[in-house]
Homo-oligomer: A and B are copies of this chain.
Amino acid sequence: MRQIKLFIACSLDGYIARTDGSIDWLFTDGDYGYTDFIRSIDILIMGRKTYEHLLHMVTDYPHQDKQTLVLSHTRAGSRDAHAQFVSGPVRDLVEPLRHTPGGDIWLVGGAEVVRDFLAEGLIDEFILSYHPLLLGSGIPLFLPQSRPISLRLEETLAFPSGLVQLRYRHLPGSV
């Protein structure tokens, strides 16, 4: 079964971007496992704002070779050159996908999409790259949830830059 993986960078105080969405504070001196990670991925899922922010940052969409699903209430059912817009309960959306053969699914973000997937216990793996920085404010990685979720630590990597990458798996039996 395809795994759903959250691969995301954040500040030590849990922000994925500044309040205006900017990520200029992210380390760019290395790939921090990204190249290996993206090779395992066939499908990307992200929120509309994340998608638009990504398009705004790049000249060419970097994931042409993969399937991109963008969660959007207003554009659901349509597609553009890179992505297919979808909506609806996330479980209904991803359960059929998970059971087709192929590479894993990257849950790109942002916060609301992460919250919706978490609430359904749909994130199998968490690869979190904590930057050695307290941003002070911004867009949080984890929005409030109604229930605790237990994780199992799989790996800890510390890089010379001070970035710490923590890898967790969802504990079967918890939400």
Number of interface residues of A (CB under 8 A): 33
Whether A21 is near chain B, meaning CB under 8 Å from some CB there, is no
Q: A24 CB to closest chain B CB, in angstroms?
A: 11
Whether A39 is near chain B, meaning CB under 8 Å from some CB there, is no
A154, closest chain B residue (CB) = B162
Count this chain's copies in the assembly: 2
A141, closest chain B residue (CB) = B13
Interface residues of A in 140-175 (CB under 8 A from B): 141-142, 144-153, 156, 158, 162-164, 166, 168
Closest 9 CB pairs of A and B: A136-B145, A153-B162, A13-B142, A156-B158, A134-B149, A132-B151, A14-B14, A137-B144, A132-B153
